Amino acid sequence: MVTGSAVSLAGCLPMMAAGVADTAVKVAVGTPENNEHAAPFATSACAARAQNYGAVHVIDTQQRTPSQIIVWGTTEKDQVRRSFRCVFGTKIKSFSVRDIPAQK
């Protein structure tokens, strides 16, 4: 019985070491600040940025990670429709726009 216990513990030790190393990295890097409370501000900031492309319609706002909010939407101006994706942390981190092809 003692030998069987030693073998099963030997398999657990590498997993325990990996868990300790992962925790150490998280502590060293720090936990990202949760910005869930900023979702309305993120939506407003991203919509304001999208207004450069026309009338804005926000489709969805998601908390992707504790410190990252994604806002999706569309714009329309002069019969040209575009979709946008806005990544927000404490400010706009990235903003991308692409044309939506006209339906025939």
For 2-52, the pLDDT digits (tens) are: 555 555 555 554 555 555 555 544 544 556 567 778 899 999 999 999 999
How many helices (DSSP H) and strands (DSSP E) are in the chain? 2, 4
- Find the domain containing 14 and state its range: 1-30
Are 67 and 95 in the same domain? Answer: yes
Are 5 and 50 in the same domain? Answer: no
pTM: 0.67
Are 44 and 92 in the same domain? Answer: yes
Q: pLDDT: is 104 or 79 the higher one?
A: 79
Are 3 and 52 in the same domain? Answer: no
- Give the angle subtended at the CA of 35 by the CAs of 48 and 22, to the nearest 5°: 135
Number of domains in the chain: 2
Helix (H, G, I), strand (E, B) or coil at 33: coil
pLDDT confidence band for 66 (50 / 70 / 90):
confident
Are 21 and 64 in the same domain? Answer: no
* Single-letter amino acid, residue 42: A
Over residues 22-35, the pLDDT tens digits come to: 554 454 455 656 77
How high does pLDDT run on average in the chain? 81
H or E segment and range at residue 87: strand 80-88
Q: What is the CATH number of the domain that holds 83?
A: 3.10.450.630
